[in-house]
Structure 1
């Protein structure tokens, strides 16, 4: 008989439960799904306490897995509704046991990338995002109605999201997310906090929405996709390549920009938004 995830501050207790539960359920983690499991309770408490501060009624969890975070959220943050999304049917037995204990949990077996666009009434998401689709999930969260996201991502992705213009990690994902959210780095999670141990460290991020996803943001995605294919070119040359004659007509309307110096990867998110509004939407 598999017990429920323990609410504990002991690494030893949590690690033993994870290993024993995987053995009892005869589950071997699948690399293609980036399946790793937290065996250190500290990140679980950090995520849960950050969530509790939001005082929200409904929460979506991406990648429920063994239901460890699900249980901590239900027991400590106590939202009225938790929608736990898990793609792997092998976790249904343990998730169903947790659901019987905590009546506010609904389980959905499916792909979060397909479910997020159709969600209504949920404004907060938590989860340890699978490494192989982290960027896709962040984009899906950005395009959704989600207002707050408290998520664990691989360290390199976290660095991209907090990168400054002109740095090596600055790219179109940075611009997209930072145009929509304030990004806070909550804590670094060492690779030893997971079993099986991944090859990289992770970081817990808190994303707080500052603007909705709208037509301007949709246009921003298209424009930056093209512009960042010329990442190190001067911005005005990249604009000419991406927008053609439209760029020539609108460059003078963009105000005090040093066109002979600024390159694509040195451009602030706000200037990209201004380019979209001036050169795409007002033509």
Structure 2
């Protein structure tokens, strides 16, 4: 990679990046923008270049990088869809290149990219990139809500067929009902991300991420479970976000999930997720009972809470 610090271009499609990168640095095609931010080097703006004719196929690609021989090492289990989504979400600017035969479809892709990365700049081809500035600290899209940041946008009315919605709730999700509903929840969703909690594991923050395939796993413990003398060890933004939204019963436990898709039905999606929450009767039985609920996810994450 070049050592230029003016700007860095990123993308899974090297030919598309090469068209616009010119004299600037180019990340390897499987790199994520946050990697350069955590490598101890100067922090130039990162621009992700997306070819219009490959975006939808890329986001829905369920193959792993290992399947195509592009995995970083033996521990690299990323999927192609996940990689492309992260390259878009982590960019300081997202540049759509090329046009589809239909102008309406091209604009649909622009709306989609703005929904996927509302915090990034979205210049048009030919626009100057000199005003793009670099992010100072990486915050994973799945964990943004824990630190009080937006996980996505709530735009349930479609724009060029693209809808986006946010699901937030306090009461825990029933592990069995959620597991049974996963296929219906993710149907028609191009990208979803965020965090949630299960009634059977009230000590764990669980991460949710889908693009092509769905990944669920533990992130950390909830601050409600953390002794007060250890709160200073937690990121200040997370402490502040928790304190501002603290619930006398649930503490900082909550769900914050973002969904984006084409022809997505936000009402149906919310009804599905609402149906996975504990009922009043289940909730009234208390945490000791919740922990005994059959949990199809139990084999996928540890029996003790991860570090906060």
TM-score, with length taken from structure 2? 0.25
Q: Which has the higher helix share?
A: 1
- Pick the structure with greater CA Rg: 1
User: Whose RCO is larger (CA < 8 A, sep 6+)?
Assistant: 2
TM-score, with length taken from structure 1? 0.26
